[in-house]
A and B are shown apart, each in its own frame.
Chain A
Amino acid sequence: MRSTLALYCLLFSLISCVKPFDFKTEDAAPIVVVEATITDELKTQEVHLSYSRSVNTDESNSITNANVFIESGAGDRFLFNETDSGYYSDIEFAAQVGETYKLFVNTNTTQYQSSWQAALEAPEIENVYLRYIERPSETLNRNEEGMQVFIDAEQSSTEFFRVTWDETYEIRVPFPSGLDYLGPGNWIAREEQVGTCYNSDHSKEIITGTSTSNTSARLIELPVRYISFETDMLRNKYSIEVTLYAIDRETHEFYKSLKEVNQSGGSLFDTQQGAVLGNVNAVGDESEIVLGYFEVASVKKKRVFFTWDELDVPASRPSYRYSCTANEIIDTTPDRIDGLMNSSRRLITVGTMPPTASIGPAECTDCTSFSSSQKPDFWQ
């Protein structure tokens, strides 16, 4: 519906229709949040327990000293030990497809239990592909160009899915700095290159899909991620790993509600917002709100790589992240380097015969100033 808005803005020549809004709200008392996804991967499984936080702070309080365990329908019990970053299973285990599981959390005051959750079979991801799409920009008053990442899954009996992704892309700076300026009169050749970096990110939105609406009973053409050419992500090489979770109808409903409540907005016809309650309840107190969900899923992953040249799209190559023209490079002589250097500049080259030196802004010469040059293990 955001496009509807854009239409009206345009139609009536109003540039901005969505404006910041200052609001005052009362903070709710902390609410227990359960975050637990048990997958069919053999690993140390995690459970995170926390209290909700005030809307104006970002510090979350974990729940400590809780007794956490999961029981299977077959009677197995998996214990979880508390660490600084959450509760981890004391052994590695994988959820078995067809088996049911239940989460138990006992805090000092209250006992929490989830409903029984079954693990369903996840189909293989058949294809992860990109397609050129133009769409109205959320920030610019025009369309933007970009690539939409889709996935197709193989046929299976599972109907409901959710998807997460992890992406990594290569960043290059136009004028890589070859020298490390250590202090007045002191520069040495860099041991590690700072011309190529890798940036990674993971999905920050809820992506759900079903296979119920098409004849092939497959999850097809599920839009996963849109990458705008307004960014530099597709300038060089891009990789995305998609994780497909096979979930049941109730879990799907939960995620969908969460998505609608959390991500809707800015439309003329908004949806009803409210608390989205999951499958964990306080034993003996129906009125206590428990947020979060205990999810059991089997997962499948697929990673793909793309370079700009392989995309073959009717658009010009995305530009560098920062505007870096030759004008921003200072050509000088070695004796003037000390006077020109500061923390936001890098030394690109220094020549002795004839005596030349070039200095550039950090964002054009050193990608480690905003990213990491550490190449991920999976990078091809």
Chain B
Amino acid sequence: MKKTLFIILFFGFFGWANAQEQYSFQFDSTSLEQVIITIENSSNLKFYYQSSWIDSLHYTGKFVDAELSQVVETVFENFDIYIYQDSNKVYLTKGTRIIDQPLISQRSDSENAKAGAKGLIFSQDYNEESNFDNDRIIEIGSRSKMSSSGYASLVGYVTDEKGEGIIGALVYTQEPVVAATTDINGFYSLQLPNGRHTIFIQHAGMEDTYRRVVLLSDGKLDIDLKQDVIALQELLVESERSANIRNIEMGVRKINVEDAKSVPIVLGERDVMKVATTVAGVQSLGEGAAGFNVRGGKSDQNLILFNGAPVYNASHFMGFFSVFNSDVIDDLEVFKSSIPARFGGRLSSVFDIAGKKADQDEFQASAGFSPVTSRISTEIPVIQGKAGLTLGGRTTYSNWILKQIKNATFRENRASFSDFVVQYDHQLDSTNSLTFSTYLSTDKLRLSSDSLLSFSDIRYRNTISSINWNRLISPNFVMDLNGYYSRYAYLLENDELELSAFKQDFSINDWGLNADFNYYGNGDKIYSFGVGSKSYLINPGSKTPVGENSQIIPVDLNKKRGRESFVYGGVEFDPKPNLKVSIAGRYVMYHAIGKQDVLLYDPLAPKNIGSVTDTLSFDQGKFIKTYHGPEYRMSLRYTLTANSSVKFSLNSNRQYLHTLSNSASLSPTDTWTLSDYHLKPQSAQQASLGFYTNLFGNQLEVSAESYYKRIRNLLDFKVGAEFLLNENVETVALQGPGKSYGFEFSLKKRAGKLNGWVNYTYSRSFIRLDGEYNEEIINRGEYYPTNYDKPHNINLIANYKLTKRISFSYNLNYSTGRPVTFPTAAYDFSGVEVLHYSDRNTFRIPDYLRMDIGINLDEGHRLKKFTHSYWSFSVYNLLGRDNPYSVFFDLRDGEVSGYKLVIFGSPVPTLSFNFRF
């Protein structure tokens, strides 16, 4: 049995070997450098650091007969300098303490120690070996200091060509498998058996490299990485390697922007959000559908955050593109079961998107062109090393294309979108940083309407601004303050008929303030707590006449207001070495706020306009209804072996915001509404259990998760419900219990020539509507599948790197067709043939199957080339399969014909050109 040793870099742990001696020092505004020299002179400690970190720092303090460890600890806890000590060596690092990488297992047991001194050879042997860069054998430490334990520490910095530390680089040996990732300064530490090793270093965008060493005793090895000339193409080795095992959260998936590169692209746009929907448990609705369903949840149950601010419509072109330009996204985290307590307000998931922090030292730009869109983004250093500005923009030229199409009598049609991101990051000082970001996306559609009653113009826009202040109150106490404003609005306009010309609008405004605190306590305890409040202002719609002759009566629905406030607290700790527990509670208070006139209905009749008995008037600012309650978030992680763990989580959520939509997808004209006097909040409780293991030296991640979710007051609607300009939504809304359960299996290979992931999801989702009156009872009051119940789902994404310049990508997507209502009978009524439909959602549209391929070709391979560019060619829906998006029926002359709506029903090839400099 071969034991695997894992040493993960961690700080704050002091194992002072010879700290019995007592020391006294007095410092009075002494420069930190002088402090270090003083300590070095009076002890056997040796400090390793970069002088630029400490040259401006001073320390005042007094020690009397203190232990050396205490002195060092006390001195440095005042600065954002972290210490790592290894016998008499003290390594200083600068930046945030890495706390999410606790020791998994440290089995320096005797058996392993005996197996140490691996391949130890005499110097004359290896001197004869080749002398080239990588192959040169580096002797570390000295034979005289060789430890009897058979182990030694290898530490050092991984830097780029300019000498700057690389964060998150993976430093590892294969035999035994020992791995570490570099911290914010590029610092790493490995505990290895003495002897000969090959140290491998990998990092995205850098050339893979290795060093051959002979480790004799503790020592230092700095490694500089060369930038990979085909960096755009480079496979990513993430710092999160093995994080899936160690992290306590389950149902979390971090989508790196780099991941998007391994997925064939659609219409020339890399799309991080689209990649996110290929994660196990997330189901997209197929092309043309905005929104997605997570673990049997409705599409409005997903919270999408951009730098902390909610995004209400995350898609352009009604779902063909996501609203985010992937070039200006740092990363995207998907939480689908153990949603951290700082998030709330949605039942199913959180998509947390972080905007790109600009490079503060060097100007960078990237751009891409395809037949449909073009995009550009730049990173501009504002203050060297302190502040940077990211600017990104994207637009379409589809209008131009529409005009070019010959024989097009659709010349009236227009469709275009654009989006812009500005993000400014400023490191005020060593403990304070400020981020300001703003985001704007606009879509404009003009359709020559088929029915004169349909809308001829649709415009919709997201406007989002946020400010984040991150403060290191003390080295182990972090505060995050976030303020935001988010608005989603659309405007419909029809001016084709002079007398009936009108405009109709809708908007949701949301602003809030959150304070989140993290305190890293003794041991491994992490305390998180915070408080926040958000306000909603919804204009459910107003209709105004357009032009002098229009006879449209203006309609202006009362604005809806609500406030959602919360406080939360939690702790994460390790009661046992292989057990980690996270417990958090959250209390949410929601007020529906006037001004509003609330209709009261006859309790003995279904709610509709005919059964109104009275009206309650609430003045401006008055509370109409208050809902409040606790939410809990609990997770457990138990490590079975160094490479596998079991996790369990239990959590609950409440949701006060709902979309009014009959369809499975999100439409730009769907309106959002708030819980109010009649509409109750939805709430969900979810239990999940998962097993995670990494095989072949973390090369292959395997996970299996299952979940069961119970939902209260899930929303569905009466047959043929109408929402636009409906002041009394309660007359068409139905609420009832729901349940979802499922199983997710996922395999992911991160590195190698062939990499990618495959997952299978089994997921069911049901709702029961059993009201008192016929129109409130659906399917006899039994549980029936929701519109988005798609039991089987398979996603496969694979990337094969043929040469350094050419790589292939492949994507396969399969899912069961979603439930629909089929006609089961026909009849004549008033000269019209009418279809009678089955119970709701008893049939399914045909299964969805799509295959895409992509080829990426890097242009140059020259080292000194100014720009890096690549061509990418992809074919979407290679099989040209007619995947129905929806089906509908037509009855003519006694015959029922079925039709299916197919989007991208044939292969769609796209060629795009991308570059960065």
Asked whether, in the complex, the Cβ of B900 is within 8 Å of the Cβ of A249, the reply is no
A11-B398, A266-B899, A271-B662 are contacts. A206–B832 as well, Cβ < 8 Å? yes
Asked whether, in the complex, the Cβ of B401 is within 8 Å of the Cβ of A14, the reply is no
Write the chain B residue with the least CB distance to A29. B825
Asked whether, in the complex, the Cβ of B895 is within 8 Å of the Cβ of A58, the reply is yes
**Which chain B residues (647-686) contact chain A, with CB distance < 8 Å?**
661-663, 665, 667, 669-670
- Which listed segment binds A: B322-330, B449-457, B688-696, B748-756? B449-457
CA distance A250 to B731 in the complex (A): 13
CA distance A260 to B835 in the complex (A): 11
Write the chain B residue with the least CB distance to A36. B830
Q: Which of B445, B720, B824 contacts A260 (CB 8 A)?
A: B720
Asked whether, in the complex, the Cβ of A20 is within 8 Å of the Cβ of B837, the reply is no
B761 to chain A, nearest CB (A): 25
Asked whether, in the complex, the Cβ of A215 is within 8 Å of the Cβ of B899, the reply is no
Asked whether, in the complex, the Cβ of A266 is within 8 Å of the Cβ of B888, the reply is yes
CA distance A129 to B385 in the complex (A): 73
Across-interface contacts of B838 in A (CB, < 8 A)? 25-26, 28
CA distance A202 to B663 in the complex (A): 33
Asked whether, in the complex, the Cβ of B719 is within 8 Å of the Cβ of A18, the reply is no
A165 to chain B, nearest CB (A): 10
Asked whether, in the complex, the Cβ of A271 is within 8 Å of the Cβ of B663, the reply is yes
The answer to whether A340 has its CB under 8 Å from any CB of chain B is no
CA distance A272 to B891 in the complex (A): 18
Chain A positions 47 through 78: 1 when the CB is less than 8 Å from some CB of chain B, otherwise 0: 00010111111101000000000000000000
Across-interface contacts of B622 in A (CB, < 8 A)? none
Chain A interface, DSSP helix/strand/loop, else mixed: loop
Most chain A CB within a 10 A radius of its CB, from B820, B882, B903: B903
A53 to chain B, nearest CB (A): 6
Across-interface contacts of B663 in A (CB, < 8 A)? 268-271
Asked whether, in the complex, the Cβ of A6 is within 8 Å of the Cβ of B720, the reply is no
A80 to chain B, nearest CB (A): 18
Asked whether, in the complex, the Cβ of A276 is within 8 Å of the Cβ of B719, the reply is yes
Chain B positions 821 through 857: 1 when the CB is less than 8 Å from some CB of chain A, otherwise 0: 1111111111111111110100100000000000000
CA distance A229 to B516 in the complex (A): 66
The answer to whether B553 has its CB under 8 Å from any CB of chain A is yes
Across-interface contacts of B408 in A (CB, < 8 A)? 10, 142
Most chain B CB within a 10 A radius of its CB, from A55, A223, A277, A292: A55
Q: Which of B450, B719, B894 contacts A2 (CB 8 A)?
A: B450
CA distance A54 to B720 in the complex (A): 23
CA distance A264 to B904 in the complex (A): 22
Asked whether, in the complex, the Cβ of A148 is within 8 Å of the Cβ of B452, the reply is yes
The answer to whether A213 has its CB under 8 Å from any CB of chain B is yes
The answer to whether B392 has its CB under 8 Å from any CB of chain A is no
A12 to chain B, nearest CB (A): 6
Across-interface contacts of A266 in B (CB, < 8 A)? 888, 899, 901
CA distance A360 to B662 in the complex (A): 56
Write the chain B residue with the least CB distance to A287. B780
Across-interface contacts of B721 in A (CB, < 8 A)? 271-272
The answer to whether B547 has its CB under 8 Å from any CB of chain A is no
A8-B288, A266-B899, A274-B837 are contacts. A249–B610 as well, Cβ < 8 Å? yes
Asked whether, in the complex, the Cβ of B610 is within 8 Å of the Cβ of A20, the reply is no
CA distance A3 to B719 in the complex (A): 24
Across-interface contacts of B720 in A (CB, < 8 A)? 256-257, 260-261, 271-272, 274, 276
- Residues of A within 8 Å of B, CB-based: how many? 87
Asked whether, in the complex, the Cβ of A272 is within 8 Å of the Cβ of B887, the reply is no
Asked whether, in the complex, the Cβ of B825 is within 8 Å of the Cβ of A18, the reply is no
Asked whether, in the complex, the Cβ of A265 is within 8 Å of the Cβ of B899, the reply is yes
Across-interface contacts of B383 in A (CB, < 8 A)? none
Write the chain A residue with the least CB distance to B669. A269
Across-interface contacts of A267 in B (CB, < 8 A)? 886, 901
Most chain A CB within a 10 A radius of its CB, from B401, B452, B821: B452
B863 to chain A, nearest CB (A): 40
Q: Which of A134, A164, A203, A271 contacts B448 (CB 8 A)?
A: A134
CA distance A35 to B775 in the complex (A): 20
CA distance A286 to B780 in the complex (A): 11
Across-interface contacts of B840 in A (CB, < 8 A)? 272-274
Asked whether, in the complex, the Cβ of A25 is within 8 Å of the Cβ of B900, the reply is no
**Which chain A residues (95-146) contact chain B, with CB distance < 8 Å?**
133-136, 138, 142-143
Q: Which of B722, B836, B902 contacts A18 (CB 8 A)?
A: B902
A21-B900, A257-B720 are contacts. A10–B413 as well, Cβ < 8 Å? yes
Across-interface contacts of A202 in B (CB, < 8 A)? 831
Chain B positions 389 through 426: 1 when the CB is less than 8 Å from some CB of chain A, otherwise 0: 00000000010011001011110010100000000000
B541 to chain A, nearest CB (A): 13
B85 to chain A, nearest CB (A): 62
Q: Which of B778, B820, B901 contacts A268 (CB 8 A)?
A: B901
B135 to chain A, nearest CB (A): 53
The answer to whether B708 has its CB under 8 Å from any CB of chain A is no
Q: Which of B553, B718, B828, B906 contacts A50 (CB 8 A)?
A: B828
Write the chain B residue with the least CB distance to A32. B827
Write the chain B residue with the least CB distance to A13. B405
Asked whether, in the complex, the Cβ of B828 is within 8 Å of the Cβ of A35, the reply is yes
Q: Which of A5, A21, A53, A273 contacts B827 (CB 8 A)?
A: A53
Asked whether, in the complex, the Cβ of B410 is within 8 Å of the Cβ of A135, the reply is no
Most chain B CB within a 10 A radius of its CB, from A58, A138, A271, A275: A275
The answer to whether A160 has its CB under 8 Å from any CB of chain B is no
A84 to chain B, nearest CB (A): 16
Asked whether, in the complex, the Cβ of A133 is within 8 Å of the Cβ of B885, the reply is no
The answer to whether A309 has its CB under 8 Å from any CB of chain B is no
A260-B720, A268-B288, A270-B886 are contacts. A11–B415 as well, Cβ < 8 Å? yes
Write the chain B residue with the least CB distance to A218. B551
Write the chain A residue with the least CB distance to B908. A12
The answer to whether B884 has its CB under 8 Å from any CB of chain A is yes
The answer to whether B109 has its CB under 8 Å from any CB of chain A is no
A113 to chain B, nearest CB (A): 15
CA distance A203 to B281 in the complex (A): 48
A232 to chain B, nearest CB (A): 20
Q: Which of A31, A133, A258 contacts B825 (CB 8 A)?
A: A31
CA distance A19 to B884 in the complex (A): 9
Asked whether, in the complex, the Cβ of B402 is within 8 Å of the Cβ of A273, the reply is no
Across-interface contacts of B903 in A (CB, < 8 A)? 8, 17
Asked whether, in the complex, the Cβ of B830 is within 8 Å of the Cβ of A143, the reply is no
Asked whether, in the complex, the Cβ of B453 is within 8 Å of the Cβ of A143, the reply is no
Q: Which of A10, A264, A269 contacts B667 (CB 8 A)?
A: A269
CA distance A10 to B792 in the complex (A): 32
Asked whether, in the complex, the Cβ of A164 is within 8 Å of the Cβ of B778, the reply is no
Across-interface contacts of B778 in A (CB, < 8 A)? 274
The answer to whether B500 has its CB under 8 Å from any CB of chain A is yes
The answer to whether B98 has its CB under 8 Å from any CB of chain A is no
A213-B553, A271-B663, A272-B721 are contacts. A134–B288 as well, Cβ < 8 Å? no
The answer to whether A220 has its CB under 8 Å from any CB of chain B is yes
CA distance A31 to B409 in the complex (A): 46
Q: Which of B448, B667, B824, B899 contacts A143 (CB 8 A)?
A: B448
The answer to whether A94 has its CB under 8 Å from any CB of chain B is no
Most chain A CB within a 10 A radius of its CB, from B289, B448, B609, B891: B448
Residues of A in contact with B (beta carbons under 8 Å apart):
1-8, 10-12, 14, 16-23, 25-28, 30-31, 33, 35, 37, 50, 52-58, 60, 133-136, 138, 142-143, 148, 164, 202-206, 212-216, 220-221, 223, 249-250, 256-258, 260-262, 264-277, 286-287, 291-293
Complex A-B, nearest 9 residue pairs according to Cβ-Cβ distance, in ascending order: A58-B894, A265-B888, A143-B409, A274-B719, A257-B720, A21-B900, A21-B898, A52-B825, A28-B824
Q: In the complex, given contacts A214-B552, A273-B719, what are 20 additional A-B residue pairs having Cβ atoms less than 8 angstroms apart?
A: A3-B454, A18-B900, A19-B882, A21-B884, A23-B898, A26-B824, A53-B826, A53-B827, A213-B552, A220-B499, A220-B500, A262-B832, A268-B318, A269-B667, A269-B670, A270-B663, A274-B840, A277-B774, A291-B827, A291-B829
List 17 contacting pairs A-B, 8 Å CB cutoff, sorted by A: A10-B410, A21-B887, A53-B826, A55-B824, A55-B825, A142-B408, A215-B552, A221-B499, A261-B719, A262-B835, A268-B318, A269-B661, A269-B662, A269-B665, A272-B716, A272-B718, A273-B719
